[in-house]
Amino acid sequence: MLRFRPLRATDFQQLLIWLSNDHVKQWWNDGDDTLEKVALHYGAEEPDVARFILLESTDTAEKPIGYFQYYVVSETTIGIDQFIGEADRLNQSIGTAAIQLFIEMIVAKHHPQQIILDPDPENKRAIRCYEKVGFIHYATELIDPGREAYMMKFDLSTGSQSSSG
C-alpha cells in the first residue's frame, strides 16, 4: 500500500541519498549534494509548496521510497514534481499508482482545474508513466538555457483529458 506523509527534517538524510542516485540525479539535479544544501532547499518554508515522502507499507513495515511535491501555479493550476528514490522500486507501476494517489490528494484539498508537470523530453520512462495516468503533452518549452521541458497536463475541468492548450 502507498501513502504520503509530509516531509520532515529527519528525512533530509534519505533525500540526500536519493538525490545522489544516478537514476534520480540524471533528471533531478539542483546541486543539492550535501546535507546542509538539502536542508536549506527542502526545509525552506514556502507558502505555495507542499513536500511529501512516499511510503510503501506492508503488514510489518513502512519504507520511504520516494519524494513528491506540489506547488500552486494559479487559482486553477497545481504543478507537481516527484521521483521514486529507490532504484529497486522502478518499473513496477509504483510511480503510476503514486501519481494517481497524489492527484486524488491534491484534488481533495485544492480542487484545481488542471495539474501540470514538466519532465525532460528525454526522460521517456517518466513520460510513459505520466501518459498512463492521463497526462497529455501540450508544449515543449525552453525553461533554462539548454534545458527543455516537455510540458504535460491533466485536465480536471472537463472530467477528462483535453488536447487544447
Q: Which domains does the chain have, with CATH numbers?
A: 2-155 (3.40.630.30)
- pLDDT on residue 159: 55
Give 92's contacts (C-beta < 8 A, 6+ positions apart). none
Q: Express each pLDDT in 73-108 by its tens digit.
A: 999 999 999 999 998 888 888 999 999 999 999 999
- Answer whether 36's CB lies under 8 Å from 83's CB: no
Cell, residue 11: 528525512
- How many Cβ atoms from other residues are within 10 Å of residue 38's Cβ? 21
- pLDDT on residue 31: 75
Cell, residue 70: 506540489
Q: Express each pLDDT in 98-145 by its tens digit.
A: 999 999 999 999 999 999 999 999 999 999 999 999 999 999 999 878
Task: Tell me the C-alpha distance between 151 and 103, whole Å.
Answer: 17
| pLDDT at residue 163 is higher than 60 | no
Strand order in the sheet with 136-144: 2-6, 49-57, 62-72, 77-84, 114-117, 147-155, 136-144
In angstroms, the Cα distances linking 105 to 22, 115, 126 are 29, 12, 20
Q: Express each pLDDT in 15-64 by its tens digit.
A: 999 999 999 988 987 777 889 999 999 998 899 999 999 999 988 999 99
- Give this prediction's pTM: 0.90
